[in-house]
Amino acid sequence: MISDDKLHLLLHLTRVPGLGPTRIRSLFSSMQSISQLKRCRTDHLAANPVIGPKYAADLTVFPVDEEIHNQLIRQVDDTGGWILPFWDERFPASLNRLSGMPTHLFGLGDPSALSAVSMAVVGTRIPTPYGKLAAEKLTTGLVQAGLTIVSGFARGIDTVAHQSCLAAGGTTVAVLGSGLGQIYPPENQPLVDDVCRTGCVITEYPPDSPPDARHFPDRNRIIAGLSLGTLVVEAADRGGALITAAMALDMNREVFAVPGDIFQPRAVGTNRLIQNGQAKLVITAQDILQELPGFSGSGPRQPLPPPPDLTLFEAAIYDQLSSTPVHVDVLADLVDRTTGDLLIQLLTMEFKGLVRQLPGKYFIRMG
């Protein structure tokens, strides 16, 4: 069971109204336990320039309830999780360097993932097939370059980023807007175990905290703070992904965006980021890597392997496909075959890894 006098002090201080993370951190330079706080005189606390008379008075009168702390610790234990305070060497240094960041994190999995070189991948909860494919391909490229992927575990692009990272053999960090006992969205519960095999799931909220709209902007600041940069894949003119991008810019982090269809409402936000010079237009993972410290991104790109020997029919289909999804009826017209004959051949080509079917009977070329 988690237990530590210093941790109990931290949990108590986070309950004091208005104290905030900066003041809490400053208090730990002069005390390490609740008993020390109880013995501390109000005038001594007030002499701390970060605390001042107002908060010194609040600290001395706010009731200490260690049973509340013990109950919280038991809840975390019941989830199989941990509490990571800001002084722990595994607590991300990038968060400690930024103001307004949480003084502790609740988590599942391997906390060492929080110290890895990371890139955030975020976007709309209702992506198009193009957005899903872009998130998958770019995430895979970033993982192959050795980056850990950070995202918000939401439906849509966030989930695609986590899944694509794991499929590529990478490590991912999921930042929740709820507690560890209230995984959201619920259909992602099985994904928690997959994430935790090499990475972790974290939150600043106690285990019994339900998802709340007010939590998600706070979650987004952690996503941005953990990462060297933020990649936005499809975003409407408002939403959480744009909030994350704005926070990353405020932290002097890089922001990248995938250009989208000008007639697609879910691409308005990303296109505007590019248009306003707030984000770099991204086509490949190399476009991101060359902007990151320690990643030159300037080496020659390896050519894709040529496809295996194709029949004339397969070659005709392959030549008409690209990374842009094409509907089967349109493709049938292009190759002058019936839709039924084409679907049979496309199934064979999918088994060979030459094409991929997207929802709605759209197809793209692989490789």
Sheet holding 104-109, edge to edge: 82-85, 104-109, 200-203, 172-175, 148-151, 118-123, 229-233, 254-257, 280-281
pLDDT in tens, 243-289: 999 999 999 899 999 999 999 999 999 999 999 999 999 999 999 99
Q: Which of 58-72, 127-141, 207-221, 268-282 has the lowest mean pLDDT?
A: 58-72
Look at residue 179 in the predicted model and tell me its pLDDT.
Answer: 96
Kindly give, in sequence order, each residue whose CB lies less than 8 Å from that of residue 334, ignoring residues fewer than 6 positions away.
320, 326
Angstrom distance (rounded) from CA 286 to CA 301:
9
- Cβ neighbours around 351 below 10 Å, total: 9
Angstrom distance (rounded) from CA 32 to CA 41:
15
Q: Is residue 298 scored above 70 in pLDDT?
A: no
Beta bridge partners of residue 159, listed in sequence order: none
Angle formed at CA 308 by CA 306 and CA 313, multiple of 5 degrees: 110
Look at residue 262 in the predicted model and tell me its pLDDT.
Answer: 94
pLDDT in tens, 19-59: 888 888 888 877 788 887 777 778 888 887 778 888 888 88
Look at residue 294 in the predicted model and tell me its pLDDT.
Answer: 65
Average pLDDT, the chain: 89
Kindly give, in sequence order, each residue whose CB lies less than 8 Å from that of residue 30, ignoring residues fewer than 6 positions away.
40, 48
In the CATH scheme, what is the code of domain 312-365? 1.10.10.10
Residue type, 338: T
Q: For residue 290, how many C-alpha atoms fall within 13 Å in the half-sphere facing its CB?
A: 13
Is the distance from CB of 363 to CB of 321 less than 8 angstroms?
A: yes
**Residue predicted with more confidence, 362 or 228:** 228
Kindly give, in sequence order, each residue whose CB lies less than 8 Å from that of residue 130, ignoring residues fewer than 6 positions away.
234, 260, 261, 324, 325
Look at residue 1 in the predicted model and tell me its pLDDT.
Answer: 42
Look at residue 62 in the predicted model and tell me its pLDDT.
Answer: 81
What pLDDT band is residue 79 in, cutting at 50, 70 and 90?
very high
* Three-class DSSP category at 254: strand
- CATH fold for the domain made of 111-289: Rossmann fold (3.40.50)
